Amino acid sequence: MADKKKDEAIKDLKDIGGAVKAEAKDEKVKDAPATTVSAPEKKEPKLDKQGRSYATGRRKDAVARVWIKPGSGKVSVNGKDQGDYFSRNTHRLILNQPFLVSNRVGQFDVMCTVKGGGLSGQAGAVRHGISRALENFEPALRPPLKKAGMLTRDDRIVERKKVGKHKARRTKQWAKR
């Protein structure tokens, strides 16, 4: 008996739900303006008066301010050539990844200032800044850069030291006997 009432109540709720959905659809159709579907808007490049594009990149504690402009592929970091500032090949490889992904090697001059962190964090910050500046200069480059993960900030930072521990997780030495 109770099951029969329960089934009837569920059926009634379903009927009411279907009627509400149908009514909502009718209202949407009536309220919708009669417009044609247009193509998505093309984004405009963001350039300054000198024809440069600017972006900020961050990684760990490092912050890089990056300007790019069409040129011969010269990269200067804090007034020095990239080879002088980043002596390790891995750092220079990280720095040039956005150009490799977007097939723009040697087409842009980069001028950047970077502060904070160590050399690895600074190289990552400059890479992030170059990627964002390339996107600002040429919005069509967003899909390959996004797919390669260059536009996403790597938000991993050093874990803080906890009270009663040597470091963030390293505990004090303990002897059982």
Each residue's pLDDT tens digit, 72-92: 999 999 999 999 999 999 999
Please state the pTM of the whole predicted model: 0.73
Each residue's pLDDT tens digit, 108-124: 999 999 999 999 999 99
Of the candidate CATH numbers 3.50.50.60, 3.30.230.10, 3.30.300.20, 3.90.1640.20, the domain formed by 53-147 belongs to 3.30.230.10
Q: Are 64 and 128 in contact (CB under 8 A)?
A: yes
Q: Would you kindly state where each structural domain of the chain is located, as residue ranges? A: 53-147
Per the listing, tokens 């760990």 go with 60
The Cα 128–Cα 148 span in angstroms is 12
In the prediction, which pLDDT does 171 show? 95
In the prediction, which pLDDT does 6 show? 60
